A and B are shown apart, each in its own frame.
Chain A
Amino acid sequence: MSVVDRFSESWRKYRKPGYYEDFDYAWTMTIDLDRCNGCEACVTACQAENNLPIVGEEDIARGRQMQWIRIERYWDGEYPNARLSFIPMLCQHCDAAPCETVCPVSATYHNQDGLNVQVYNRCIGTRSCAVYCPYEVRYFNYSNHHWPAPLDQQLNPDVSVREKGVMEKCTFCIQRIRQAKDHAKDDGRRRVRDGEVQPACVQTCPTEALVFGDRNDPDSQVSRSLNDPRAYRVLDELNTRPSVVYLKKVVTDGG
């Protein structure tokens, strides 16, 4: 097949609305804001799993924190009726991702699992994806990070350590997905079973607020969760079609 054919074929494929429904999987996460208590266990789990650096006080003061999942906090009202709500914010793996269109070198793209992936070694560091991302979940390596020995022994060998000048973000723990598929292949299964793979944040969430799975599978846990009437997407009006769906926080007045 010539280059031109290949190009026009993929062009047709990706121009088709809803093309991602034909994908092998459509990995999706639901986050129940009524369960989330803001404990940030997910944040540390992600840091441990994905080799996130310790950027240090100075860099955080300059606004360069690196946590692929973060807890945003929003106050409503004033004392004594102040209320604080937490919302975990991570890469939404949008099906119509603004970041994917802007990268000049296609370092970020949609793969066949419906994931918005970032190829670190392709990134040239224009940072335009971070500008285009309305959720601010892309993190840039402003310098090389160091792990004073022996902290480096903790680094996960399944995940790269990103160098300076590279954009990075939540991958839905793609290394775990890859291994789960590998297992499925070893067992002669065509597909990964529901619940067989969980990103680090979902795995550790003490309140079980996070649910992860394949929404192409109607019986999966996450598909059922998506049917919840409380389901909504953050900044839905931008039509980015995120794969992370939130379940509304329940607020009642009086017991």
Chain B
Amino acid sequence: MGVSIVPTLRVLKPAAMIIVVMALGTVVGFWANAAFLPGTAPKQPIAFSHKMHAGDYQIPCMYCHIEARRSISAGVPSINKCVGCHGIVAKDRPQIRKVLDYWQNKEPIPWIKVHDLPDFVYFPHKRHVLAGVECQICHGPVETMDVVTRTAPLKMGWCLECHKARAVEHGTDCWTCHK
């Protein structure tokens, strides 16, 4: 009997192939899900285009997201704000008609959150806006997006990069951002 490993490897080869292929498949599957179904651009109940509003018509962010500079939450405008303009403008477009339907039924529009943080995170928009952080730093170039897409990872490490770069006061203390 020899001590060569070669026969053994030959015997094990089919099983090893199957395991390797399965592992590779898992990676591919994971990647495919992340790449093709990232969930960063959900389909909203109304195909609202930030490109048109913020990009083409140059409406400032805080015209609609009025709370951003004074509250922890940026606030999504109520329908009455939409209707403020669209009661007159572009009333016959199908998407606008949907908005007007919601308005007539006095139902809220169930927007889907694109930029969502876990519940244990305390993110005050106010502090960031008042510190001069551009909306686009976290939200990406929204004014060029027809469908809002999350571009930033919104992960803790990513937050901290910025906090460190800007030397935020107690910016790396856990309880500055966690609750």
Q: Is the CB of B174 within 8 A of A175?
A: no
Query: A196 an interface residue at 8 Å Cβ cutoff?
Result: no
Given A112-B170, A182-B127: A158 and B179 interface contact (C-beta under 8 Å): yes
Bound: A43/B170 CA distance, A: 31
Which positions 70-107 of chain B face chain A at CB distance < 8 Å?
Answer: none
Interface flags, A167-179, vs B, CB<8A=1, else 0: 0000000110010
Which positions 140-179 of chain B face chain A at CB distance < 8 Å?
Answer: 170, 173-175, 178-179
Contact with B122, one of A115, A117, A158 (Cβ below 8 angstroms): A158
Which positions 128-176 of chain A face chain B at CB distance < 8 Å?
Answer: 158-161, 174-175
Q: Is the CB of A119 within 8 A of B174?
A: yes
Query: B36 an interface residue at 8 Å Cβ cutoff?
Result: no
Given A111-B173, A112-B173, A182-B127: A120 and B178 interface contact (C-beta under 8 Å): yes
Bound: A120/B120 CA distance, A: 8
Query: B14 an interface residue at 8 Å Cβ cutoff?
Result: no
- B118 contact set on A, CB distance < 8 A: 121
- A174 contact set on B, CB distance < 8 A: 175
- B119 contact set on A, CB distance < 8 A: 160-161
Bound: A115/B173 CA distance, A: 12
Q: Is the CB of A119 within 8 A of B178?
A: yes
Query: A224 an interface residue at 8 Å Cβ cutoff?
Result: no
- A175 contact set on B, CB distance < 8 A: 122, 179
Q: From residue B173, how far is it (CB to closest CB) to chain A in Å?
A: 5
Query: B55 an interface residue at 8 Å Cβ cutoff?
Result: no
Interface centre among A115, A119, A158, A159 (most CB of B within 10 A): A119
Contact with A121, one of B126, B173, B178 (Cβ below 8 angstroms): B178
Query: B124 an interface residue at 8 Å Cβ cutoff?
Result: yes
- B173 contact set on A, CB distance < 8 A: 111-112
Given A111-B173, A111-B175, A119-B178: A178 and B120 interface contact (C-beta under 8 Å): no
Given A158-B179, A182-B127: A122 and B170 interface contact (C-beta under 8 Å): no
Bound: A175/B179 CA distance, A: 7
Q: From residue A173, how far is it (CB to closest CB) to chain B in Å?
A: 11
Q: Is the CB of A160 within 8 A of B179?
A: yes
Q: Is the CB of B175 within 8 A of A119?
A: yes
Q: Is the CB of A117 within 8 A of B127?
A: no
Which positions 94-115 of chain A face chain B at CB distance < 8 Å?
Answer: 109, 111-112, 115
Q: Is the CB of A117 within 8 A of B179?
A: no
- B179 contact set on A, CB distance < 8 A: 158-160, 175
Q: Is the CB of A121 within 8 A of B120?
A: yes
- A122 contact set on B, CB distance < 8 A: 174
Q: From residue A116, how far is it (CB to closest CB) to chain B in Å?
A: 11
- A160 contact set on B, CB distance < 8 A: 119-120, 178-179
- B170 contact set on A, CB distance < 8 A: 111-112
Interface centre among B118, B124, B126, B178 (most CB of A within 10 A): B178
Q: Is the CB of A117 within 8 A of B124?
A: no
- 8 A-B pairs, CB-CB below 8 angstroms? A117-B175, A119-B174, A121-B120, A158-B122, A158-B179, A182-B124, A182-B126, A182-B127
Top 3 A-B residue pairs of the complex, sorted by shortest distance between their CB atoms = A119-B174, A121-B120, A160-B120
